[in-house]
């Protein structure tokens, strides 16, 4: 492996902008190690409390803001700590410092976030199991790619508020998923998703637009075509539900 002699701060800024940068400089190797150690502490915890979970997230994202004062009950703690995500371990994250998460976000197990560039997840968004956020990528030219000695690049990922990303979804660099949208299980998102749309498939394609009531709420459809595309199992005797 090449020993890189470049400006670490400039290299970091290039990474965050999505420009070509080098991932195996001492500074970035150390940054990933710091995050990996913090993630390991979360993954090793058995049944952490809501406050412990928030503290683990602070360590992962390198957030130096103190947690709010402790509440009297666990239910009250959940309200007090709403700006920190609810996480089902294990998860995997590269840097942690390039992640921005809104309030009341749920992240299910085996989530992978490669936060080469900023990954933003809006408030009240639900992330299913085995979801991957890949904000990093590599040059297509193999000579430029050059294994660990070559440069990498990336693109920001933005998931709006009130979204549902179902299980086994992969989101590629540079993607924006609009507010209120749903991505069906097993999808690979290669293009932006407009607000209030349902997409599914590999590559993900628009299944339908979610109509809005005058009061601003979404109308739920029981269309068999949509339910099938979203991998929904819906016996007639049961209320429908999308597999997370």
Q: What are the catalytic residues?
A: 138
Residues near 123 by beta carbon (within 8 Å), at least 6 away in sequence = 102, 103, 104, 105, 161, 162
Neighbours of 59 (CB within 10 A): 17
Q: What is the largest CA-CA distance in the chain?
A: 66
How far is residue 146's CA from residue 142's CA, in Å, rounded to a whole number?
A: 6
Residue 80 is inside which H or E element, if any?
helix 74-80
How far is residue 184's CA from residue 47's CA, in Å, rounded to a whole number?
A: 29
CA-closest candidate to residue 35, choices 111, 97, 119: 97
Residue 189 is inside which H or E element, if any?
strand 188-189
The b/e string for 119-131 (b: 16+ C-beta within 10 A; e otherwise) is bbbbbbbbbbbbb
User: Residues 90, 43: contact at Cβ < 8 Å?
Assistant: yes
Residue 37: both structure tokens together: 């150690």
DSSP state of 147: G
User: Residues 165, 159: contact at Cβ < 8 Å?
Assistant: yes
């Amino acid at each position: 492996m090449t020993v890189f002699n470049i400006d670490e701060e400039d290299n970091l800024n290039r990474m965050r902008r999505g420009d070509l940068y080098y991932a195996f400089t001492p500074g970035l190797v150390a940054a990933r190690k710091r995050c990996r150690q913090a993630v390991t502490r979360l993954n090793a915890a058995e049944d952490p409390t809501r406050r412990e979970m928030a503290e683990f997230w602070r360590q992962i994202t390198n957030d130096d803001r103190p947690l709010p004062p402790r509440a009297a009950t666990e239910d009250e703690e959940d309200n007090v700590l709403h700006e920190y995500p609810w996480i089902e371990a294990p998860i995997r994250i590269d840097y942690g410092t390039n992640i921005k998460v809104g309030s009341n976000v749920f992240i299910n197990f085996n989530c992978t976030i490669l936060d080469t560039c900023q990954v933003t997840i809006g408030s009240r968004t639900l992330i299913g199991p085995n979801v991957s956020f890949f904000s990093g990528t590599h040059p297509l030219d193999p000579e430029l790619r050059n294994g660990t000695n070559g440069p990498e690049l990336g693109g920001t990922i933005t998931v709006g508020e009130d979204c549902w990303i179902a299980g086994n979804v992969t989101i590629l660099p540079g993607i924006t998923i609009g507010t209120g949208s749903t991505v069906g299980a097993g999808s690979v998102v290669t293009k932006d998703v407009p607000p209030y749309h349902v997409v599914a498939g590999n590559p993900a394609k628009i299944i339908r637009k979610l109509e809005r009531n005058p009061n601003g709420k979404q109308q739920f459809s029981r269309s068999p075509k949509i339910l099938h595309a979203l991998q929904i199992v819906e016996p007639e005797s049961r209320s429908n539900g999308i597999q997370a």
